[in-house]
Amino acid sequence: MQNIKVKSLGPIEEADITFGDLTFFIGPQASGKSLLLQMIKLAADKPYIANRVKNYSYVWGTNEDDNLERFFGEGTAGIWNKRTAIKIDDVPYHKNSLLPNKPGSETGDKETVFYIPAQRVVCLNYGWPRFFSDFEDSAPFVLRDFSETLRKYLDMGFGHRQSPVFPQSPERVNGRLTDSFNESIFRGAEIMVEADIKKRLKLNINNVSLPFMAWSTGQKESMPLLMGFYYLSPKSKGRRADFDMVIIEEPEMGLHPEAIKSVILQIIELMSRGYRVIVSTHSPVFMEFAWAFNILKEAKADDEALLELFNLHKDTTNEALFKGVLNEKTVNTYFFDNVDFKVTVKNISGLDAGDADPAVAEWGGLSSFASKANDIVATIAANNG
């Protein structure tokens, strides 16, 4: 999937999105970002989704509205109305595409889009991922599926009593990335699997073992995100299975700006493995990165500029992380502009502070407060001078 065009889907009146190697979705709450991200997953992976649902004794049947609610959650069928039109790479995607394929034509468990949902912390029920069927019917498919994937991943022996889940050895996970998460989030702690009675993750630090509910907010939010990154990063250094695209919703939740920089480094690692990544965010830190990246790319800067941007010294590991990123990768940004509860999606990839369009100049509103504060302070300082 290279492009998606949407008209009249939920609150979204119109969207025309071409994906870069990294694509940002920004905009206020309830502007349709999650809806569109989930639609991308549904359009790309419907046969996988239908099989997954049926494997857990749920119905994927002959009613499109029922299937919409099975995927998006209870009460969501109305997002697709009589005016709704969707095109994937200029090919119409009709509502009847939600119906089961003809017998023998399903593509089984092939999955091309890995989705890390915003509600990911809900997956870790007291420190261990929940079963797919443990969630209420109102829970969207992407949350259930992500939790089930993590549960199976941990159950297959990823972590055990003798080996920490975090940190991993440099042979398993890029050492620079482990160091970054350790410095900004875990602060020397180890994450272990306790399995005396019931499996659960525990955080060990300074001879104290803490259950999941006693972790900091940032540690709780980042753990399922980190596990998703692990899952996508096989030892082969390439991509996992058939995955082409990774969707990450609001990875900044609960994190300090320095920790958000660690997440950006991990996203760059995913890009270097060949994944295309879509991130929805409310954090200006991601926009600062996108702005700097595109200016450096236009200036034909070398990879050392990224090392400097992230305050990393020049060595083999760090150079490998950024190799070819500026020359070969693209970063696009789309703003979900919500006016009177009708959303139009704008391409604001330029992020030019001098642009006549406030959506571009103010980075979809993420820089507007800082700009206003600077203007007021500068004016007062000049008057008092």
**Average pLDDT by stretches of 10, the chain with 385 residues:** 97 97 95 97 95 91 94 94 96 94 62 96 92 92 96 76 79 82 92 85 93 94 93 84 94 93 94 96 95 94 92 87 92 94 94 88 80 74 77
Claim: this prediction has a pTM higher than 0.85: yes
What does the pLDDT read at residue 86? Answer: 97
The 10 Å Cβ neighbour count of residue 144 is 24
- Per the CB < 8 A criterion, the answer to whether 212 and 220 are in contact is yes
Backbone conformation region of residue 26, classed left if phi is above 0, alpha if psi is from -120 to 50, else beta: beta
Give pLDDT, residue 107.
54
Four-CA torsion 150, 269, 312, 360, nearest 10 degrees: -100
Sorted by where each begins, the domain ranges of the chain are 1-111+330-349, 113-274+303-324, 352-385
Q: Please state, as a whole number, how many other Cβ atoms lie within 10 Å of the Cβ of residue 207.
A: 5
Q: Is the dihedral of CA 70, 71, 76, 82 positive or negative?
A: negative
* Residues 185 and 224 sit within 8 Å (Cβ to Cβ): no
Contact by Cβ (8 Å): 277, 286: no
Helix residue ranges per DSSP H, the chain: 33-55, 64-72, 141-153, 175-181, 217-231, 257-272, 284-298, 304-309, 316-322, 325-328, 358-361, 368-384
Structure tokens at 329: 């990768």
pLDDT confidence of residue 47: 93
* Per-residue model confidence (pLDDT) at position 361: 86
pLDDT of amino acid 104 = 54
pLDDT at position 159: 47
Q: Rounded to an integer, what is the distance from CA 368 to the centroid of its chain?
A: 24
